[in-house]
Structure 1
Amino acid sequence: MTPFQIRACDSAIQQDTTDYLPSKDRVTRWDIAGFVFSIITHLVDVGLDINVAYRYYVDNPNQYYYVLTLIFILVPAVINTAFSIKMYCQNKEDTQMKPLTKRFTKRRLCYLIILLFQLAPVLRYFDALRYAIKSKKAEKEKNIENQRKYYKLMIQEDSDVALLRVLECYLEAAPQQILQLAIIFYKHGDGNTFTIVHQLLSIGSSFVSMAWSMASYHRLLRVALINKNNISWGGTIMQFMWHFLVTVSRIMCISVIASIFPYYTVLVLSVHWFVMVIWLKITSDQPAICGNNKVFEYFFFAVFGTVYIFTHISLSQGRTLVRYVFFYTILCVENIIAMIIWMLYSDEVIRSSPYYLPIICLNFITFFVGIVFMIVYYKICHPSTGYIQRHLVKR
């Protein structure tokens, strides 16, 4: 179940009982620290991307790289802000609440700042942080009603921002990584050393951000659902490693082939995107956020079709085994073909470079080890079907 579906059924749940959150659920210092950490890491990630764009700008021969980098920053910012506003429009149950994002976006100048610096997720983190602090304060005052009220609002904001962070990572960070790595491979690592350092910093932070965004997204969805067991921190680590390794392999494979055949790479990825959009349209539930708006519905699937170039994210309930087998088989075949083409058509400079063989080994090893982490997660750490849940928790 996605945050959209959680919001759709939330009002119905409240009609049944106003005390549907378990009494044991309360805001901890770790929650507050987590929000602060998420805000800082997001700003650092965006700042490093902007810094790379600036390095291209001051390096006159690379104006083309500067324009592409800027496009990959601004377009996802517009999409993320649109989704954020749509989520707020969907949830109007509490008219007394005035979240920071809602107030901030009423001013055109502030709205422009949000778009330029990708602050939509950051503002949602601030909203969640504000609710967390209020819930903690109400707990100290022994005001149970406000404690649970603000805790519920914090969970809603947290689950929404988790999805926004996933979109930001895979619409902005992933294309940025492909661009930066393709540039490095295209230049055979002979570019300005100072610029390469900035590129590698941006690439490294993005890899971590993408993996953590997926792990955090799944963890927060389980917290938001009252009839589901939460994911343990061990399970979250398994998910982080799974998404980190598979994403590294996927982006490396796309980057190496893009450094040789950029236009054909765009063509193949476009075909992949189109297939994923059709697949999502056929297999996914009707997104509650879209309502009866068919235009936004197609926009919704188009956006997540882009995410599906890199990773799988569940948009409907039900068993995911068949979906995973289908999706990761396609990724595996595409990655293998990309590496074979790169090995066949690489010039002598690349083949003699010190990173040629390590990249080939890295791409294959990381993908299959990532799949192993996925299997371990579902066999051992999954809160519903894992070994721990079946044999240890029930005891």
Structure 2
Amino acid sequence: MKYTKCNFAMSVFGIMIYVTDLVADILLSARYFHDGQYVFGVLTLSFVLCGTLIVQCFSYSWLKDDLKKAGQESERYFLLLHCLQGGVFTRYWFALRKGYHVVFKHSSRTRSFMEGQTDPHKEAIDAATDLSMLRLFETYLEGCPQLILQLYAFLERGQANLSQYAVIMISCCAISWSTVDYQVALRKSLPDKNLLGGLCPKLTYLFYKLFTLLSWALSVVLLLFMDVKVALFLLLFLWLMGFIWACIQQTQFCNSLSMEFLYRIVVGFILVFTFFNIKGQNTKCPMSCYYIVRVLGTLGILTVFWAFPLSIFNSDYFIPISATIVLALLLGIIFLTVYYGIFHPNRNAETQYDETDGNSAQRDCRMRYFLMH
């Protein structure tokens, strides 16, 4: 494994999107409060706080586990940093500093290291991998609900201010980037996985996730216009099914039972919006069932909306939105088929590693028990 300049650039771009997304959400919530739209302001701020609180919990839990493995005591100031919502920024600081030294300062010396010493490249990759997992959590816990909320606010008013446009665009960028960054980090950190090389596989994977998510987000927005209670019940039901699926799969990502329970709750939430392989097994059948249900659910929402049009909804938007939903879903399924039919690495063809260079790394890698797709 080698940490490259491209990996360092992805980490830099990642923190830029993270900060921009956070600032845009805070400014938009302030704009809502200023305009007297307190419900939208509270919801916007709540999504930010909920997402970042859960991310800080996982960050601190992983930090304690890493310190325990290293035989070190958990420092109290790390807990204080995470309580002050500074855990992710601290991780970015250490990851960027470590990555910078590996790539630019000691690139020649880090190619060889004494037996018993830790590979600097592996340290940099592990730090970047932890950040990619945390960003994936934050994106789906905060970015997806935020995207639905802002689309709803835009369609309700028939117009959007600059802050809303910014949040919608940044949310799409954050979701796209964190998903691709996670996929790259996944295959970079696991020695028995083929790398996701080339621009075409990455773009195909990005468009598959983005189009299927956009189609579903717009469908949920239409359902919210129809009946908020029905929409919330549907989302709650889908979350419950995802949570039960994670329990049935007996995920083993966290060391403590409480954090594992929280992890399954988060996995259930992520499965509301997109599919991930939560156990690293062959999921051709579950994924097919997932997207069959997604297609049926989307078509059902559109059918009901066409059969019972709402007077409160701006009809000028309905036809283009319906066309966008169908087209985005169709494109998403096409990109999904292309990715798994052409670009997805064949597991049977993956490199087999012996005990010294593969299995020991696999046992110590947190990513191995995370979302695998």
Task: Judge which range, 178-187 or 373-382, deviates more.
Answer: 178-187
Shift of 1:103: 7.9
Aligned pair partner of 2:168 in 178, 203, 226: 203
Supply the AA of the counterpart residue of 2:145.
P
Task: Judge which range, 259-268 or 303-312, deviates more.
Answer: 259-268
Inter-partner Cα distance in structure 1 for 2:272 and 2:100? 38
Inter-partner Cα distance in structure 2 for 1:345 and 1:327? 27
Secondary structure, aligned partner of 1:288: coil
Q: How does 1:156-305 map to 2 (within 5 A)?
A: 156-187=126-157, 189-190=158-159, 193=160, 196-233=161-198, 234-282=200-248, 284-291=249-256, 293=257, 295-305=258-268
Cα 1:185/1:168, change in 2 over 3 Å: same
Secondary structure, aligned partner of 1:242: helix
- Structure 2: where are the runs of 5+ without partners? 352-373
Inter-partner Cα distance in structure 2 for 1:287 and 1:141? 37
For the 8 Å contact 2:60–2:82, the answer to whether it is kept is: no
Deviations 1:67-98 (A, max 9, x none): 11111111111111001111112223345899
Inter-partner Cα distance in structure 2 for 1:105 and 1:46? 22
Supply the AA of the counterpart residue of 1:278.
I
Deviations 1:288-324 (A, max 9, x none): 3144x2x333222111111111011222122121121
For the 8 Å contact 2:239–2:269, the answer to whether it is kept is: yes
For the 8 Å contact 1:379–1:385, the answer to whether it is kept is: no
Q: How does 1:314-333 map to 2 (within 5 A)?
A: 314-333=277-296
Supply the AA of the counterpart residue of 1:144.
S
For the 8 Å contact 1:84–1:120, the answer to whether it is kept is: yes
Secondary structure, aligned partner of 1:308: helix
Aligned to 1:72: 47
Inter-partner Cα distance in structure 2 for 1:241 and 1:310? 15
Aligned to 1:7: none
Secondary structure, aligned partner of 1:145: coil
Cα 1:127/1:71, change in 2 over 3 Å: same
Aligned to 1:152: 122
Supply the AA of the counterpart residue of 1:140.
S
Shift of 1:55: 0.5
Shift of 1:202: 0.4
Inter-partner Cα distance in structure 2 for 1:28 and 1:288? 27
Identity %: 24
Q: Does 1:334 align with 2:297?
A: yes
Inter-partner Cα distance in structure 2 for 1:290 and 1:70? 31
Q: Does 1:379 align with 2:354?
A: no
Aligned to 2:320: 358
- RMSD of the alignment, in Å? 2.6
Supply the AA of the counterpart residue of 2:187.
R
Cα 1:132/1:142, change in 2 over 3 Å: closer
Task: Provide TM-score, normalisation by structure 1.
Answer: 0.80
For the 8 Å contact 1:253–1:335, the answer to whether it is kept is: yes
For the 8 Å contact 1:127–1:154, the answer to whether it is kept is: no
Aligned to 1:56: 32
Task: Judge which range, 338-347 or 45-54, deviates more.
Answer: 338-347
Q: How does 1:24-63 map to 2 (within 5 A)?
A: 25-60=1-36, 62-63=37-38
Deviations 1:33-60 (A, max 9, x none): 2211111111111111111101101112
The size of the alignment, in residue pairs, is 345
Supply the AA of the counterpart residue of 2:208.
W
For the 8 Å contact 1:180–1:199, the answer to whether it is kept is: yes
Inter-partner Cα distance in structure 2 for 1:142 and 1:242? 37
Aligned pair partner of 2:309 in 319, 338, 346: 346
Deviations 1:243-278 (A, max 9, x none): 111111111111121133112211111111111111
Shift of 1:65: 1.3
Supply the AA of the counterpart residue of 2:148.
I
Shift of 1:385: 6.2
- Structure 1: where are the runs of 5+ without partners? 1-24, 390-395
Inter-partner Cα distance in structure 2 for 1:279 and 1:28? 37
Supply the AA of the counterpart residue of 2:230.
Y
For the 8 Å contact 1:214–1:240, the answer to whether it is kept is: yes
